[in-house]
A and B are shown apart, each in its own frame.
Chain A
C-alpha cells in the first residue's frame, strides 16, 4: 500500500508551480533584490572603519539585541559585510518565513478545503502525493533562494563576502524557510481551515521571534528554543557557523515526517482540531453589516492584537534597562554628545515605533482587503441580493479598519509603557503620542486599500507592495539614499518623530485629507463598478 503513496508527485509539483509560480517568482525577486541592493549600499554609507565602529556602538545594546539579535565584540566590526549580516538577517528571515507560510498554507489545507485535493485523489495518485508535492515545491523554492541569494552576494565582490559565507547567508534563510514550511504543513494537518493553519503558523513565527528576543537579551539557553535564535547564531560573515543551518534542516525534516504521518492516518477533509459548533441564532449585533464583519474578522484581529501587544511589551521590558546601560558607558556618552538632541533611547523608541506601526498597518489593511476576498468567494452577493447598499458594506469595512488601526497603535503604546521598569525612559504621554501620531500614515494605507478594492479590484496586490515599500524606506531609507521624492511616497516619512521632534500637525492633517480622498475615490468606484460575486 505504501509503495504507491507517492505516485504522481512529479506532475503535482508542476501543477503547484503552474498555479503559484508567479507569486513565488515575485517573492524571490523582491527578497533577493532588496538584499543585494542593501549589501551593495552598505559600503557607500559606511566608508571607513570608524563609521563601521560607530554602527557597532549603536547596535550593541539590549534594545537592538532584542530587535535584531546579538551583536559581536567590537573588534569583529571590520567590514560592511558584518553590518549587513547583523542588520538584514533577522528581518529577511521573517519575510522568508512569511513567504513559506503563505505558500505552503495554500498548497495544503487551502487546496483541500476547496475540494481540489478530492479530485486529485480520485485519480491514480498516492495518498501522500499532494503533501509531498507541496513539500518538494517548498524545498525547491528555498534552495533556489539560498543559491541565488548566496551567489548574488558573492558576485557583488564586497570585502569579506566570500563564496562560503555568502552561501551560508543564503542557506541560513533557506533552512529557516523550510522550518516554517514544515510548521505550516504540520498545522495544515491539525487545523480544519486554511485560515486556521496559516494563523497557527504565524503565531509560531511570532513566538519564535519573542523567545529569541528575550533569550538573546537575558538567557542564551532560551534562544536555543527558537529557530530564529539558531539563525542569528550562524554569526555569518564573522564566525561562519554551519551548525544552525543543519539544526534547522534536521528540525524541518522531523516536523515534516510528523506531518506526513498525520496526513497518512487522517481522513480527507478532517482535522485533529475540529471546528466548534456554532450558535443556533444570530445575535442582534451579528445581524448588521458591521456586526457580521466584526465577528467574521474577530479572531484574526484578536490574534494580531495579542501579538502586537506582546511584542511591544517585550521591547518595553528592555527599554528600562537601556538608559542604565548607556549611563554606564562613558564612551557612548561621548559619542552621543555629537548629537545632543536625541538620546539613544529616543532613537530606539522612534525606530521601534515606526516598525511597530508598520506591523499595525498589516491587520488594518487586511481588514479592508477582506471585502475583496469575500467578493472573490461569491459571498458579497448575499448582501447585494438584499437591501444593503454598497456604501454601507464598504463603510463597515472601513470603519472596522480604522478601529483596528486605533486599537493596534494603542496596544503598541500600552505594551511599551506598561511593562518593565519605567523610570523616566518612557512616560505614558510620550508612549501614546508617539504611537498615535502614526495613525494618519496607517490611514493612508487603509485609504489606498479602499481605493483599490473600490476602483481597481484586480490590482489590490499593489497595496501590499506599498506597505513593503514603506517598510523598506523606514528600515533602509538611510542606507539606500533614494532621492527625496521617492522617500516622500512613503506615508511613514511624513510622521513627526516623537519624542525627539514636536508634533507638527500640518503633515498629519494633510495625510488625513489624502486618505479621505483615497477613500472617497474608492467608494465612488465601488458604487459604480461591477460586483463579481
Chain B
C-alpha cells in the first residue's frame, strides 16, 4: 500500500520553478531515501508534504489524504525532524521535547527517557546554549518518542557525531521493524545506502532516478582493477570507461549490463589479479551529477 503519493507536483516561487512535475510513490513499511545536491528541491518537497507550502500544481496525498487540506489531521500520524532545529532560546531541551510531545498528543514518557539516555542529552540546558548537534538531538528525540506512522526526516543527522549517527540509524531500523515508514532526505550517501529500501534522486526540481538500490545498480558501472599476463587493450571494447593505467595494473569502469562480455574478453589474456568494487550510491550520484554538470544549476532553498 502506498502511503505517500505525489503526482505531477510543481512548485513555483515567483518565476523560479523549485519543483517541476515531481512524481513519487512511497510504500508502507519502507525506508525511502531522498537524495540530491544542494538546492535541488528536497526541502521544498518535504515542506509541500507537510502542508507548509501549497503546491502550484499537482497532487500530494499522504495516507490517502490531501497534504494541504488535511494537514492538521495528518500531522497526528507524522513525526518531522528539520535539517536545522532552531528552538526557543529561553526554554530547556526537556521542555521543548515535552511541548512537542504534548502538541502531538501521543508520545511516551518512557521512550522519551530512553532516547535522552541513548542520545546522551542533558535536557536541563537552555536551547540557546546547545550546540547544533545537541539541538538536532532534541528534534530527533521528540520525533522518535512520539507514536507516528510516518517519519519525515530532512537531513536529520547534520551536526551529529558518528556515535550518535549510529544511534539514529538504530532507531530508524527499529521503527522500520515496527512496520512504520521513514522518508529520509540526506546527503550522507552511506547512510542512505545502509538504511533505505527505495531511493529517489532529485536534481534541479526533477526526479531523475527512482527505484531500489539494486535496480539502480544495474544502471551504473562496476569498477574493475585487473592485472593480466599479456597486455590487454580495452579502448575499443563496448561499455568500458575511464581507463587508467598504473604500473602493470589497469583500472576501468564497466557498464553493469556489459560486465559479462567484458570479463569473458579479458579472461583470454590470462588474469593474474581481479578486483571488483560494486558501485556505491556515491558513484551513482556523482554519475548523474557529472552528466549534467555543464548546465549550471540554480540553487533554491537548502
Contacts and interface: CB of A to CB of B under 8 A. Distances in A.
B75 A123 contact: yes
B276 interface: no
Contact of A18 (B52, B70, B90): B90
B214 to A, nearest CB: 32
Given A19-B90, A116-B86, A127-B71, A274 B14 contact: yes
A268 interface: yes
Interface string A115-130: 1101111111111000
B104 A124 contact: yes
Given A11-B103, A125-B103, A267-B53, A118 B82 contact: yes
B88 A7 contact: no
Given A7-B72, A11-B99, A121 B86 contact: no
B208 interface: no
B102 interface: yes
A115 B85 contact: yes
Contacts of A123: 75, 80, 100, 103-104
B106 to A, nearest CB: 10
A196 interface: no
B100 A119 contact: yes
B260 interface: no
Contacts of B19: none
A124 B88 contact: no
A124 B101 CA distance: 11
Contacts of B301: 269
B86 A115 contact: yes
Nearest to A119: B82
A124 B91 contact: no
A235 to B, nearest CB: 42
A8 interface: yes
A268 B86 CA distance: 15
Contacts of A118: 47, 52, 82
A53 interface: no
B172 interface: no
A270 interface: yes
B75 A124 contact: yes
B94 to A, nearest CB: 13
A127 B71 CA distance: 8
A124 B72 CA distance: 4
A4 interface: yes
Interface string B194-226: 000000000000000000000000000000000
A312 B99 CA distance: 49
A125 B72 contact: yes
Contact of A270 (B13, B89, B90): B13
Interface string A1-35: 10011011001000100111010000000000000
B234 interface: no
Contacts of A120: 103
B86 A122 contact: no
A266 to B, nearest CB: 9
A124 B105 contact: yes
Nearest to B46: A122
Contacts of B91: 15, 18-19
A124 B85 contact: no
Contacts of A126: 72
A19 B152 CA distance: 27
A267 B56 CA distance: 11
A20 B91 CA distance: 10
Chain A's interface size range is 20 to 34
A200 B71 CA distance: 32
B73 interface: yes
Could you tell me the dominant secondary structure of chain A's interface residues? loop
B139 interface: yes
Interface in B42-92: 47, 50-54, 69-73, 75-76, 78, 80, 82, 84-91
A231 B80 CA distance: 47
B52 A121 contact: yes
Chain B's interface size range is 35 or more
A4 B87 contact: no
A114 B86 contact: yes
A267 B86 contact: no
Interface in A106-165: 114-116, 118-127
Contact of A122 (B53, B75, B105): B75
A120 B103 CA distance: 9
Given A19-B88, A116-B88, A274-B14, A122 B80 contact: yes
Nearest to A3: B72
Interface string B123-143: 000000000000000010000
Contacts of A127: 51, 71-72
A271 to B, nearest CB: 11
Interface centre among B84, B86, B91 (most CB of A within 10 A): B86
Nearest to A14: B99
Contacts of A8: 103
B72 A4 contact: yes
Contacts of B70: 1
Nearest to A7: B72
B299 to A, nearest CB: 13
Contacts of A119: 80, 82, 85, 87, 100, 139
A124 B100 CA distance: 10
Contacts of B47: 118, 267-268
Contacts of B99: 11, 15
Interface string A244-270: 000000000000000000000001111
A127 to B, nearest CB: 7
B69 A1 contact: yes
Nearest to B83: A115
Contacts of A1: 69-70
A127 B13 CA distance: 20
Contacts of A269: 52, 301
Nearest to A5: B72
A7 B13 CA distance: 28
Interface in A485-503: none
A20 B100 CA distance: 18
Given A8-B103, A119-B139, A124 B52 contact: no
B73 A4 contact: yes
B150 to A, nearest CB: 11
Interface in A366-423: none
B146 to A, nearest CB: 9
Nearest to B138: A119
A268 B52 CA distance: 6
B142 to A, nearest CB: 9
B103 A267 contact: no
Contacts of A5: 72
A268 B95 CA distance: 25
Contacts of B84: 115
B82 A124 contact: no
Contacts of A270: 13
11 contacts: A4-B72, A5-B72, A18-B90, A115-B85, A119-B82, A124-B73, A124-B104, A125-B103, A267-B52, A268-B47, A268-B53
Interface of B: 13-14, 47, 50-54, 69-73, 75-76, 78, 80, 82, 84-91, 95, 99-100, 102-105, 139, 152, 301
Closest 3 CB pairs of A and B: A122-B80, A4-B72, A268-B52
Given A116-B87, A122-B52, A122-B75, 18 more contacts: A1-B70, A5-B72, A11-B99, A11-B102, A115-B85, A119-B85, A119-B87, A119-B100, A120-B103, A121-B50, A122-B78, A122-B80, A122-B82, A124-B73, A267-B13, A267-B52, A267-B54, A268-B52
